Amino acid sequence: HPSPCAAADAEAWERLWVQSQLVLHAEGQVLTCSLSAPCDLQAELVPCWQPVPSGPCQPLPGLQQPAGGQGPQEFGGLRPHPNLCVQVWSSGQVRLTQCLRDRELPGHPDDLLLLEHGGNASLCAMERGACTPLASFTSMVKGKGPPWHLGLLEQDLQQDVAVGQCRQVSVSSQQAVGRDWEVSDVSLCPPQLWHPVNSSGVALWACPLHKYLRTHWALVWMGVLLGAACLLLLLLMKKEDIKGEWCISGGCAWPGTPPGTSLRLLSAGWLKSLRVGYGSKGE
């Protein structure tokens, strides 16, 4: 019988991929995957980061490896996280994608993925196919709410990384990584976003943002309440100004007094009744 992988036409290859399956396993600090296929397929296993289930998956630098047969494969130096996925690339296309999405894993879906360049400890945020310096980075958590700037949190995030508040996703990179971008010319591999230029590697950190989100929205609500209080104060001051102008022009009257009774007449009548009252007490 001829091997299924001996098929040469594109439709036969598509049927092979339909029959294939990718399974991920997270055991402690180790991430492994198994590619089940009718035969050994030439493909590349690419770990990626997907904060939103329906959103794009950002390839992680220096962690891709060729698919090696039917047995489980371990991703050395990669720690499980709920946002981690693995894609199978072949002929320049994503054939299979499998994500962990395990709520029991350490980490939070809103975690921000930071890349630390070896040697200079500078941080940039990986999102939307780019690694942007924190000073000029804006973020939208789960696509909810307006974008907000993380530039003011740069020192806080660096401190979180230093004291262990962030979770290290990649322990060590398998290849050197630089800042420049390029696209791989190998059709079998996915776009190679990171170009090796020197001997310094990188580390990937997943930093929690929910504590900063609570502070951010608390400040927003404080601003809203302060604005409402200022507006109410201005309205009250305007109302008092209008009342003062009416008293000066036409005189003020107590409620229940006949129309046209001025404040001067009320004062005179009140003083007269007061004197009569005191006189009756003296008697």
Q: Do residue 235 and residue 113 come from a single domain?
A: no
Same domain, 162 and 124: yes
Give the model confidence (pLDDT) of 149-207 as tens digits.
Answer: 555 677 788 888 888 888 888 865 444 343 333 333 333 334 433 333 333 477 899 98
Count of domains observed in the chain: 3
Examine the pLDDT at 91 and tell me if it is beyond 60: yes
Domain limit, last residue, from 190, 208, 226: 208
Asked whether residue 147 falls in the same domain as residue 264, the answer is no
What's the pLDDT at 124?
Answer: 86
Residues 179 and 203 in one domain: yes
**Confidence (pLDDT) at 2:** 55
Cβ pair 191, 96 in contact under 8 A: no
Check whether residue 39 and residue 121 sit in a common domain. Answer: yes
- The verdict on 172 and 226 lying in the same domain is no
Residues 255 and 160 in one domain: no
Which are the contacts of 210, defined by CB distance < 8 A and separation ≥ 6? 108, 110
pTM (2 d.p.): 0.63
Q: Which strand ranges, in their side-by-side order, compose the sheet holding 130-133?
A: 130-133, 123-127, 112-117, 202-207, 167-170
226 and 105 part of one domain: no
Measured distance CA(47)–CA(24) in Å, rounded: 11
Say whether both 141 and 219 belong to one domain. Answer: no
Same-domain status, 126 and 162: yes
Percent of the chain with pLDDT over 90: 8
Residue type, 22: L
Query: Which contacts qualify for 145-154: CB closer than 8 Å, 24 or more apart?
Result: 148/216, 150/112, 150/125, 153/212, 154/123
Contacts of 97 (CB under 8 A, 6+ apart): 22, 57, 85, 86, 87, 88
Q: Any residues with CB less than 8 A from the CB of 268 and at least 6 apart, and which?
A: none
Phi, psi of 192 (to 5 degrees): -85, 100
- Regarding whether 257 and 240 lie in a shared domain, the answer is no
Residue 228 lies in domain:
211-244
Question: Do 135 and 68 reside in the same domain of the chain?
Answer: yes
